[in-house]
Amino acid sequence: MAKHELLCKIGPSVLNSDLSKLYSESERLLKCGADYLHLDVMDGHFVPNITFGHPVVKCLRPKLPGIFLETHMMVSNPEQWIEPSADAGVDQYTFHVEATSDVARVCRKVRESGMKVGIALKPGTDVTAVSGYVDLADMVLVMTVEPGFGGQKFMADMMGKVRWLRRHHPGLDIEVDGGVGLATIDACAEAGANMIVSGTAVIGAEDPSKVIATMRRVVEGHITRGDGDR
């Protein structure tokens, strides 16, 4: 899938926001220039933390008409939550290859439900684990921290995975998530990432609009130059 002109897309992770004001925080991020919202769903089993699930997304959906919502499913049984997520209005369902023994089946089920397909890789998983499934996906997410908690340090050595994916799949949307901000955006963009998840760096900034605009400028510059294709 995803054989199209690459576009830079910035999707703040709302996990780092004030969750008691999730809608107003989401609206604020969109007004600051976010292209989509990245919603971290954790089950306390696949990762050692619990956040929120499809009922919260279902409450947000009518308040955010037309806004692209991606759920990053850090859960042990991703197939279990496909139908509830589709019913909640999720646009892209991103699940981990490590969480299922039948990646292709989950990809098919997600697409049949009407959602876009995202496949995610933990830092310890080799990039070749997704090589046989790229044609079934719309996007591949390369985790640049261990999934489960915000505020971790960016793992620069994950950029090798991004480069490999961009070289072998030039039309693929490649997302990075974890420790991404002004200090690390150039490395991500140079490697070939075009979908940028940023939590603390955006939400904790004095001027989130400026941070988003700066990251967009960096990524678009690298896309124009074709960095990551080599």
- Tens of pLDDT, residue by residue over 99-148, are 999 999 999 999 999 999 999 999 999 999 999 999 999 999 999 999 98
Closest to 86 in 3D by CA, of 121, 56, 112, 60: 112
Give the pLDDT score at 116.
Answer: 98
Give the pLDDT score at 1.
Answer: 47
Tell me how far apart the alpha carbons of residues 20 and 33 are, in angstroms, rounded to a whole number. 22
Taking phi over 0 as left and psi of -120 to 50 as alpha, with beta for the rest, 114 belongs to left
Give the pLDDT score at 105.
Answer: 98
For the chain, which residues score pLDDT lower than 70? 1-4, 150-151, 227-230
H or E element: which one contains 189? Answer: helix 185-191
Q: Per the structure block, which two tokens stand in for 149?
A: 């908690």
The residue type at 208: P
Q: Which of 18, 40, 207, 227 is catalytic?
A: 40
40 is catalytic: yes
Give the pLDDT score at 2.
Answer: 42
**CA quadruple 200, 82, 56, 212: dihedral, nearest 10:** 30
Q: Per the structure block, which two tokens stand in for 128?
A: 């070749």
Tell me how far apart the alpha carbons of residues 196 and 38 are, in angstroms, rounded to a whole number. 10
* Contact call for residues 212 and 10 (beta carbons, < 8 A): yes
Give the pLDDT score at 225.
Answer: 86
Q: Which of 18, 43, 177, 207 is catalytic?
A: 177
Q: Which domains does the chain have, with CATH numbers?
A: 9-225 (3.20.20.70)
126 is catalytic: no
